[in-house]
């Protein structure tokens, strides 16, 4: 084999190794997206001072308070789907419970604070897609009360559907 041909083959093999190695590194990275949101084992809310669930409840900032997105994405460099996840802890608002029903909910979220494990994805959301630089706030307002068939017991997790207005991107 001629020296030029040998270097071409070596260069091709090296390039293929770099491409495959980069794809494997992306698939094997340990800092992938966080798991889906849910209540931690033993999580519970404290009741208002006057007792019972009736009253006004307010969002408490902290590590477990956030809004976000989870989208199934297809990587260009590998034929493996990945969850694209971004979260913002810049959330405020609350709800009012009366007579065993959720009567009102208003939540504000600052989408400029959305962050993921990919800085390029975050930059794209600021200027494209959600355009969070132009439309920084998202809001949710309940439009119909949420009723429960019976009063939940202390520590019981209850699932219900909510009807409301979600405003994103203006």
Calculate Rg over the CA atoms of the chain.
24
Encode pLDDT of 88-101 as tens digits: 899 999 999 988 78
Encode pLDDT of 7-51 as tens digits: 444 434 443 433 444 443 344 444 666 666 665 544 445 444 445
3-state secondary structure of 51: coil
CATH number at residue 76: 2.40.128.110
Number of structural domains found in the chain: 1
Domain carrying residue 59: 50-167
Question: Residue 78 carries which DSSP code?
Answer: S
Domain membership of residue 28 (yes or no) is no
Domain membership of residue 132 (yes or no) is yes
pTM: 0.67
Domain membership of residue 153 (yes or no) is yes
Domain membership of residue 26 (yes or no) is no
């Amino acid at each position: 084999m001629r020296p030029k041909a040998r270097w071409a083959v070596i260069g091709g093999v090296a390039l293929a190794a770099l491409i495959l190695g980069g794809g494997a590194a992306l698939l094997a990275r340990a800092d992938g997206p966080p798991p889906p949101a849910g209540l931690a084992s033993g999580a519970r809310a404290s009741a208002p001072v006057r007792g019972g669930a009736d009253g006004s409840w307010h969002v408490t900032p902290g590590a477990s308070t956030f809004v976000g997105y989870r989208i199934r994405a297809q990587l260009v460099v590998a034929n493996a789907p990945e969850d694209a996840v971004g979260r913002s802890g810049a959330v405020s608002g609350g709800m009012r419970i009366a007579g065993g029903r959720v009567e009102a909910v208003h939540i504000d979220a600052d989408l400029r604070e959305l962050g993921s494990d990919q800085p390029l994805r975050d930059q794209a959301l600021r200027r494209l897609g959600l355009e969070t630089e132009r439309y920084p706030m998202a809001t949710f307002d309940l439009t119909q009360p949420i009723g429960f068939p019976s009063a939940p017991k202390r520590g019981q997790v209850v699932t219900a559907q909510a009807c409301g207005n979600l405003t994103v991107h203006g």
